[in-house]
Chain A
Amino acid sequence: MRYIPLSEQDKQQMLERCGVTDINALFCHAPQHTLDPAYNLPNHMGELEVERHLVSLANKNKDFAHNTSFLGAGCYRHHIPATVDMVIQRSEFLTAYTPYQPEIAQGTLMALFEFQSYISTLTGQPVANASMYDGATAMAEAALMAQRVTKRSNIVYDTDIHPDYKAVLKTYLSHIDGEFTESASPAETVNEQTAAYIVQWPNFKGDIADLNKLKSTCQQQGALLIVVVTEIVALGILPAPNQADIVVGEAQSIGNAMSYGGPHLGFFACQESMVRQMPGRLCGQTTDADGRTSYVLTLNTREQHIRRAKATSNICTNQGLCALAFTVHMSLLGEQGFKQLAQINHQNACHLADALTSLNGVQVLNTTFFNEFVVRLPFSAPKLVADLANEGILAGYALNDTDLLVCATEMTTNEDMHHLVQAIRIEIEGK
């Protein structure tokens, strides 16, 4: 086996030092009848065979490199500069672990500090942690933190939140006392028992709410405002959501591939007053024995390895390498590049919206949007998705029988848009 270096001679010498002659003597505490059962599995394969097998599986998928796509809905295709993958494949980043020994992990730590700084400044929140599993779990953790901070148990959340995020919230809170109310009219539903109101921004259908109004509704009742961002590129064009008490979401768009839904990059940012209630890892700046600026994991007493049952969360391993990918990509973009990227996304989405509304009977339902919006079709949206998939066009995400959620990014070309418009035109004219 190419990954296991021990030779027969090594093994003999080592067994000898252990004072045994047979490897199974080291498994003497296991019930002996359970040792070496039969497995209905193949034997090992060479690199070539493994590669052949996996390439054949990969080739059965219709990927975005060879097909046209308008899918978004919380997972976005953006261009990833070559530098990003070069950096995250650096052995010293890829094969390190949680930086528990800061003297030999300054690379990971400084990158996490930069990550936290970027998330903080993008979200307009003073503090951010070093990542969560994904946007959906970050939102659930935000609700749990709101309950701890306010000592209230009810959560109200907007209707137009990503369905997976709502589902995960429900699962995480299923055993907790308190009411979980879905409501598009917080002025009526948020009250003095509400821990937090959650709104996605832009929402699942692409619309962009006025956070000032929501802020004052929450403030009047002493509830926290949680803003969820599933497309972080939007923060290059929208003003920072600093009306929020907590901003969480998904940052996959920057530096991370779609990878069939994971690994992505949850982020978590909030007001400084809540920092000791935050879940997850935090990296802080300090000095070493020679007085040099250094970085270290800090405020560990919130975490499971110290606080155990009373920890703010059970999260341990998070999305370190995805956070690094984000940090590299965001560093390349910088102030100007990130804003331009957002503007190009928006401009392309505007063009797509115009092209689609030029079709007879097709209507854009949004009054506002960033790079994603809903079109109402004069025929079945799920059928369109299924039919066009066969032609190499992933048309979008069907919300119901007539409505299609479509997305344009910097990857979307005029030709792509033309393809979609033509395909829909044929469907319409065929009727």
Chain B
Amino acid sequence: MTVNKRNPQGLLLEEVLLYEQSHSGRMGVDFRAVSLSKDEQRTGLPLRESIELPEVSEPQVVRHFVRLSQKNYGIDSGFFPLGSCTMKHNPRLNEKLARLSGFSQIHPLQPQSTVQGMLELMFNLQNWLNELSGLAQTTLCPAAGAHGELTGIMMIRAAHEDKGNARKVVLVPDSAHGTNPATAAMNGYKIVEIKSDTNGLVDIQALDAAIEKHGTDIAAFMLTNPSTCGLFEPNILNIAEKIHKIGAYFYCDGANFNAIVGKIKPADLGIDVMQYNLHKTFSTPHGGGGPGSGPVSVCAELTPYLPIPLVVKEGDNFKLIEEAPKSIGKIKGYHGQAGMFVRAYAYMLSHGKDGLKQVAEAAVLNANYIMHSLKDDYFMPFNGPCMHECLFTDKQQKETGVTTLDIAKGLTDYGFHPMTTYFPLIVGGAMLIEPTETEPKEAIDEFILTMKELANIAQQNPEAIKQMPQHTPRKRLDEVTAARNPILTYQMSRQTQA
């Protein structure tokens, strides 16, 4: 026993991998005894010998994960203004309902007559999204936002192919999220980047030039509206007209739908296809990185290409359509992230059309309030009003040497989750702040004061910020070594130590 290793850490409890807590013979489950007779070995292969899983008891597992949870920060912990991610409150009601055995303990292949309630819920959810978008029909299949994008561009491709030519190019603004170009590339399209203008908006001249150059080779324009700079694209109707004129489709990345849900119908803006991120706008928990859900709504012209299945109502019965001649086919196993549908549907019913309008308005008001409160302390690359998120950069802190990274790390020392940093890429040192509608004004005010204080420290004692964070479970990490010599499993870590 090494006594001198003990430091008083208060409640900042250290925790090691379960592998390092393993003792042969410990178990966290009790099964009936089993020993397979010769006749009970029908796999055609010898029984597996060693796997190398840790051996621990239930109390150890519980304590391990509770301790790990205490090293994490979630929305329930505090303000989480991670731009573009819509970290809003996740109602526990939705978790409770998704766990009803009638939803959680049903199998995707059981006869449809035995899951009418689930199909009705999916049908209703499709209809809610149809109504909120003003578009014709919605697929619930995609697993997340990026998967919805993939599905949307696949449908666009199929529609063009149907007209005899898949076309070659997808236009993507340089402010777009990385999933947009990656999605278009996965569909075999060449990406032509459209520069943003000095206001952070689509540069109409650049768009015209691209249209001039690529003409009917253009399959689609992928726009995020409100944009990744938090701005509503004022020329959107004009853009839609230009895109439609060359027979291309107008795709909208709906990750930022929270700003306009219940307030504006995307179809009225000329949009043909849009994905939602149910884990953003409709509050299904982010879960430390998923599961998400990425339904896609499309205009009437694109409905034949929707993936399968689609839920329809025939008389009093709900039914899955599992074959459609022009469908792009299946994009995920079974029917989508059904557990997320239950949560999103409960969220929608809780809000109703009046509540959703309040969601958009409060989200936009909160962001503008922050923008106006911090505009003297941080550089604002574009003028407002903003929508659900506001964008600053570290330009004003330049001569102090303090960067966006430092501000972000500083925030963690004050008990806040940082904003999104270094995205969008079109401004240097981006700080994208999205408060969402579920924050009380007091929390927002506290955040504003903290941001002001950090701006002050940056001026007066920049070195202090460079040392932050000090009060978090870990200080800054050596990310360079992590990437240079990747240690991705316990087994690799042991080899490295050996």
Is this pair of chains taken from one and the same complex?
Answer: yes
Q: Which residues of A contact B268 (CB under 8 A)?
A: 31, 33-34, 37
Interface of B is mostly: loop
Q: Which residues of B contact A77 (CB under 8 A)?
A: 105, 107
Is B355 interfacial (CB 8 A cutoff)?
A: yes
Out of B44, B103, B473, name the residue touching A259 (CB < 8 Å): B103
CB <8 Å contact, B354 and A95 = no
Q: Which residues of A contact B373 (CB under 8 A)?
A: 17
- What per-residue 1/0 map shows which CB atoms of A193-209 lie under 8 Å from chain B? 00000000010000010
Is A431 interfacial (CB 8 A cutoff)?
A: no
Q: Which residues of A contact B76 (CB under 8 A)?
A: 91-92, 94-95
Task: Using A60-B102, A260-B335, A368-B43 as known contacts, say yes or no to A238 and B93 having CB atoms under 8 A apart.
Answer: no
A368–B95 Cα gap in the complex (Å)?
Answer: 40
Q: Which of B378-425 contact A (CB under 8 A)?
A: 385, 387, 408-409, 412, 417-418, 423
**14 A-B contacts (beta carbon < 8 Å):** A4-B359, A18-B365, A58-B100, A62-B114, A103-B409, A103-B412, A122-B53, A171-B307, A171-B330, A240-B48, A260-B107, A263-B337, A331-B64, A333-B27
Out of B43, B91, B339, B418, name the residue touching A3 (CB < 8 Å): B91
- What per-residue 1/0 map shows which CB atoms of B256-281 lie under 8 Å from chain A? 00001011110011000000010100
CB <8 Å contact, A261 and B26 = no
Task: Using A62-B110, A170-B329, A350-B42 as known contacts, say yes or no to A37 and B186 having CB atoms under 8 A apart.
Answer: no
Task: Using A29-B234, A64-B106 as known contacts, say yes or no to A238 and B51 having CB atoms under 8 A apart.
Answer: no
Q: How far is the CB of A418 from chain B (nearest CB, A)?
A: 18
Beyond A58-B102, A99-B288, A293-B16, 8 additional pairs, beta carbon < 8 A: A14-B441, A60-B116, A60-B118, A87-B65, A111-B68, A137-B331, A292-B474, A341-B31
Stretch at the interface among B138-146, B207-215, B241-249, B454-462: B138-146
Greatest chain A CB density within 10 A among B114, B116, B183, B346 is at: B114
Q: Which residue of A lies closest to B140 (CB)?
A: A262
Q: Which residues of B contact A210 (CB under 8 A)?
A: 44
CB <8 Å contact, A44 and B352 = yes
Out of B107, B128, B353, B483, name the residue touching A299 (CB < 8 Å): B483
Can you list the 10 inter-chain pairs with the closest CB atoms, starting with the nearest? A58-B102, A261-B334, A321-B287, A261-B108, A60-B117, A320-B289, A332-B28, A95-B74, A91-B76, A263-B291
Is B181 interfacial (CB 8 A cutoff)?
A: yes
Q: Which residues of A contact B409 (CB under 8 A)?
A: 101, 103
CB <8 Å contact, B489 and A128 = yes
Is A81 interfacial (CB 8 A cutoff)?
A: yes
CB <8 Å contact, B474 and A102 = yes
Greatest chain B CB density within 10 A among A64, A117, A305, A346 is at: A117
Q: Which residues of B contact A44 (CB under 8 A)?
A: 349-352, 354-355
A268–B44 Cα gap in the complex (Å)?
Answer: 25
Is B198 interfacial (CB 8 A cutoff)?
A: no
Q: How far is the CB of B121 from chain A (nearest CB, A)?
A: 5
CB <8 Å contact, B369 and A18 = yes
Out of B143, B145, B355, B366, name the residue touching A14 (CB < 8 Å): B366
Q: Which residues of A contact B186 (CB under 8 A)?
A: 144, 172, 313-314
Task: Using A91-B74, A332-B58 as known contacts, say yes or no to A318 and B34 having CB atoms under 8 A apart.
Answer: no
Task: Using A57-B120, A66-B101 as known contacts, say yes or no to A99 and B289 having CB atoms under 8 A apart.
Answer: yes
Stretch at the interface among A67-75, A182-190, A213-221: A67-75
Q: Which of A196-252 contact B (CB under 8 A)?
A: 202, 208, 210, 235-240, 250
CB <8 Å contact, B100 and A334 = no
- What per-residue 1/0 map shows which CB atoms of A254-275 lie under 8 Å from chain B? 0001111111100000000001
Out of A122, A314, A332, name the residue touching B51 (CB < 8 Å): A122
- What per-residue 1/0 map shows which CB atoms of A11-25 lie under 8 Å from chain B? 101110111100101
CB <8 Å contact, A285 and B482 = yes
CB <8 Å contact, A316 and B68 = no
Q: Which residue of B lies closest to A176 (CB)?
A: B188
Is A192 interfacial (CB 8 A cutoff)?
A: no
Q: Which residues of B contact A309 (CB under 8 A)?
A: 181-182, 184-185, 191
CB <8 Å contact, A168 and B365 = no
Q: How far is the CB of B157 from chain A (nearest CB, A)?
A: 6
Is B18 interfacial (CB 8 A cutoff)?
A: yes
Task: Using A35-B264, A133-B332, A170-B329 as known contacts, say yes or no to A103 and B114 having CB atoms under 8 A apart.
Answer: no
Q: How far is the CB of A319 from chain B (nearest CB, A)?
A: 5
A127–B292 Cα gap in the complex (Å)?
Answer: 24
- What per-residue 1/0 map shows which CB atoms of B208-226 lie under 8 Å from chain A? 0000000000000000000
Out of B32, B289, B490, name the residue touching A281 (CB < 8 Å): B289
A282–B489 Cα gap in the complex (Å)?
Answer: 10
Task: Using A110-B68, A258-B105, A261-B335 as known contacts, say yes or no to A334 and B53 having CB atoms under 8 A apart.
Answer: yes
Is A65 interfacial (CB 8 A cutoff)?
A: yes
CB <8 Å contact, A94 and B74 = yes
CB <8 Å contact, B333 and A164 = yes
CB <8 Å contact, A367 and B29 = no
Is B62 interfacial (CB 8 A cutoff)?
A: yes
Q: Which residue of A lies closest to B60 (CB)?
A: A331
Q: Which of B424-445 contact A (CB under 8 A)?
A: 437-441
Greatest chain B CB density within 10 A among A30, A31, A162 is at: A30
CB <8 Å contact, B439 and A5 = yes
Is A6 interfacial (CB 8 A cutoff)?
A: yes
Is A406 interfacial (CB 8 A cutoff)?
A: no
Is B3 interfacial (CB 8 A cutoff)?
A: no
Q: Which of A75-122 contact B (CB under 8 A)?
A: 75, 77, 81, 83, 85-108, 110-111, 113-114, 116-118, 120-122
- What per-residue 1/0 map shows which CB atoms of A312-337 lie under 8 Å from chain B? 01111111111010001011111111
A10–B332 Cα gap in the complex (Å)?
Answer: 45
| Interface residues contributed by chain B, number (CB under 8 Å) | 206
A296–B485 Cα gap in the complex (Å)?
Answer: 13
Is B87 interfacial (CB 8 A cutoff)?
A: yes
A39–B265 Cα gap in the complex (Å)?
Answer: 9
Q: Which residues of A contact B187 (CB under 8 A)?
A: 175
Q: How far is the CB of B417 from chain A (nearest CB, A)?
A: 7
Out of B72, B191, B351, B479, name the residue touching A286 (CB < 8 Å): B479
Q: Which residue of A lies closest to B21 (CB)?
A: A331
Is B85 interfacial (CB 8 A cutoff)?
A: yes
CB <8 Å contact, B53 and A333 = yes
Q: Which residues of A contact B70 (CB under 8 A)?
A: 92, 107
CB <8 Å contact, B115 and A61 = yes
Q: How far is the CB of A169 from chain B (nearest CB, A)?
A: 9
Is B90 interfacial (CB 8 A cutoff)?
A: yes
Is B97 interfacial (CB 8 A cutoff)?
A: yes
Task: Using A5-B441, A103-B412 as known contacts, say yes or no to A331 and B105 having CB atoms under 8 A apart.
Answer: no
Task: Using A15-B365, A309-B185, A347-B40 as known contacts, say yes or no to A86 and B62 having CB atoms under 8 A apart.
Answer: yes
Greatest chain B CB density within 10 A among A101, A134, A321 is at: A101
Is A340 interfacial (CB 8 A cutoff)?
A: yes
Q: How far is the CB of B138 from chain A (nearest CB, A)?
A: 14
Is B340 interfacial (CB 8 A cutoff)?
A: yes
Q: Which residue of B lies closest to A43 (CB)?
A: B352
Task: Using A41-B128, A106-B71, A309-B181 as known contacts, say yes or no to A35 and B263 having CB atoms under 8 A apart.
Answer: yes
Greatest chain B CB density within 10 A among A5, A235, A260 is at: A260
Q: Which residue of B lies closest to A5 (CB)?
A: B440
Is B303 interfacial (CB 8 A cutoff)?
A: no
Is A55 interfacial (CB 8 A cutoff)?
A: yes
Q: Which residues of B contact A350 (CB under 8 A)?
A: 39-40, 42
Out of A51, A61, A92, A368, name the residue touching B72 (CB < 8 Å): A92
Is A421 interfacial (CB 8 A cutoff)?
A: no
Is A426 interfacial (CB 8 A cutoff)?
A: no
Q: Which residues of B contact A306 (CB under 8 A)?
A: 178
A240–B181 Cα gap in the complex (Å)?
Answer: 37
Q: Which residues of A contact B118 (CB under 8 A)?
A: 57, 60-61, 260
Is B357 interfacial (CB 8 A cutoff)?
A: yes
Is A414 interfacial (CB 8 A cutoff)?
A: no
Q: Which residue of B lies closest to A138 (CB)?
A: B333
Q: How far is the CB of B161 from chain A (nearest CB, A)?
A: 9
A319–B147 Cα gap in the complex (Å)?
Answer: 13
